[in-house]
């Protein structure tokens, strides 16, 4: 058992250095380790702990098994300036994405829109991490990905899993602060279901299918043999919408990359598609920020609905809470959740790497 976690907060920089040491210890090149560590800590800062430090172990293990490359750079397959096709060479996803984001942001002011398809990347984790870097440059971005080596979502009306959660992320600047979102095209996530399953709790609705294709609110159906599936957004009544979005993500990622499920790739292979937009190339950045800022202000000032459901206080703009959490984490330290803390403590002990000191 681990010690109580109350009041144990860690400086972001200390966690980044710690994660990088563990990854270097697993044989990952220093620059790549730094890139991965930064992405995982950034996920913690944004509150996406499912893609945070808990991933150090799988990253380290995959590098050690040779399933993830440990050095080198992603490969440019085609390059027309505004349109690129990149092969990730099975390097860690955050390293591939750092390269892709940097290239797209540098070119966006000249090209207007830069589109990059990525095949054979390692797992890229939390998409929001990369997009935050785009919005700081007064650019907008769209990022989607799929994992063709995995299948946990059935097409609407079917039973057998075919897709992953195929998330859609986007960010853009506004005169009232950035908008930033990143969500799956399924109703819920494997991680959330696993947590509920451990606690013996049910979902609020029939957001899953059992292995016969019957709608279910019981996360246990995901852990049977064969397992059930996550339902696409819209679920029982209008899951054709989530199914369509999932297909769209497949087309943009694996389709344009020309590598995906048809190739039955092994490992933890990710296909991704990034677009970076410079609003200056369209109606101008001033008009863009004015339009998007006006909407953001109206949303934030909106009178709360009588009903609040899972909300606690009216309208939240996507990203508002994550960015506030990030600012607080940078200031007061990161409060790791219990599972993550156990994970990294165990790993640190196994690997003989010292845990960072919590903030007093």
Footprint (CB under 8 A) of a copy of itself, residues 141-160: 142, 154-160
Q: Which is nearer to a copy of itself, 35 or 229 (CB)?
A: 229
Which helix (H) or strand (E) segment is 28 a member of? none
Contact 169, 294 (CB under 8 A): no
CA proximity to 131, closest of 182, 73, 84:
182
Contact 74, 98 (CB under 8 A): no
Q: Which is nearer to a copy of itself, 220 or 248 (CB)?
A: 248
Which one of the spans 12-20, 193-201, 308-316, 339-347 is the region binding a copy of itself (CB under 8 A)? Answer: 308-316
Report in angstroms how near the CB of residue 205 gets to a copy of itself at its nearest: 6
Which one of the spans 14-22, 42-50, 306-314, 327-335 is the region binding a copy of itself (CB under 8 A)? Answer: 306-314
Within 229-288, which residues bind a copy of itself (CB under 8 A)? 233-234, 236-241, 243-245, 247-248, 250-251, 254-263, 277, 279, 281-284, 286-288
Q: Which is nearer to a copy of itself, 10 or 288 (CB)?
A: 288
Instruction: Residue 146: count other Cβ atoms within 10 Å of its Cβ.
Output: 28
Contact 118, 96 (CB under 8 A): yes
Q: Which is nearer to a copy of itself, 101 or 231 (CB)?
A: 231
Give the CA distances from residue 313 to residues 305, 308, 323, 324, in Å, rounded to whole numbers and listed in that order: 9, 7, 17, 15
Residue 349 contacts a copy of itself per CB under 8 A: no
Report in angstroms how near the CB of residue 89 gets to a copy of itself at its nearest: 15
Within 200-229, which residues bind a copy of itself (CB under 8 A)? 204-205, 209, 212-215
Residue 83 contacts a copy of itself per CB under 8 A: yes
Task: Kindly list the strands in the beta sheet with 229-230, ordered across the sheet, starting from the edge strand earlier in the chain.
Answer: 215-216, 208-209, 229-230
Q: Which is nearer to a copy of itself, 63 or 135 (CB)?
A: 135
The dihedrals phi and psi of 19, each to the nearest 5 degrees, come to -60, -40
CA proximity to 145, closest of 125, 162, 167, 121:
167
Q: Which is nearer to a copy of itself, 268 or 288 (CB)?
A: 288
| Separation CA 131–CA 171 (nearest Å) | 6
């Amino acid at each position: 058992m681990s010690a109580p976690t109350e009041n144990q907060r860690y400086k972001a920089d200390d966690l980044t250095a710690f994660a990088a040491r563990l990854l270097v210890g697993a044989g990952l090149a220093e620059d790549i380790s730094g890139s991965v560590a930064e992405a995982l800590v950034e996920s913690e800062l944004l509150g996406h702990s499912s893609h945070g430090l808990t991933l150090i172990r799988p990253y380290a293990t995959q590098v050690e098994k040779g399933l993830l490359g440990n050095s080198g750079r992603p490969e440019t397959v085609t390059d027309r300036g505004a349109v690129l096709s990149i092969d990730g060479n099975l390097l860690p996803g955050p390293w591939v994405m750092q390269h892709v984001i940097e290239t797209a942001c540098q070119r966006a002011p000249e090209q207007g829109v830069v589109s990059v398809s990525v095949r054979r990347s390692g797992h890229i984790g939390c998409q929001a991490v990369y997009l935050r870097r785009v919005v700081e440059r007064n650019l907008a971005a769209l990022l989607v990905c799929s994992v063709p080596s995995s299948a946990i979502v059935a097409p609407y009306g079917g039973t057998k899993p075919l897709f992953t959660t195929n998330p859609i992320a986007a960010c853009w600047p506004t005169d009232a602060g950035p908008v930033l979102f990143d969500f799956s095209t399924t109703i819920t996530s494997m991680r959330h279901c696993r947590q509920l399953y451990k606690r013996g709790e049910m979902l609020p609705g029939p957001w899953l299918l059992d292995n016969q294709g019957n709608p279910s609110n019981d996360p246990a159906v995901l852990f049977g043999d064969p397992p059930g599936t996550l339902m696409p957004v819209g679920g029982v009544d209008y899951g054709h919408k989530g199914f369509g979005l999932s297909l769209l993500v497949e087309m943009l990622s694996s389709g344009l990359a020309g590598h995906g499920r048809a190739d039955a790739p092994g490992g933890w292979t990710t296909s991704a598609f990034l677009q970076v937009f410079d609003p200056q190339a369209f109606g101008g950045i001033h008009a863009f920020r004015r339009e998007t800022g006006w909407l953001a202000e109206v949303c934030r000032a909106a009178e709360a609905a009588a009903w609040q459901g899972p909300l606690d206080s009216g309208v939240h703009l996507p990203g508002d809470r994550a960015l506030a959490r990030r600012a607080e984490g940078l200031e007061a330290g990161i409060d790791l959740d219990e599972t993550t803390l156990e994970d990294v403590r165990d790993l640190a002990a196994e690997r003989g790497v010292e845990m960072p000191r919590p903030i007093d």
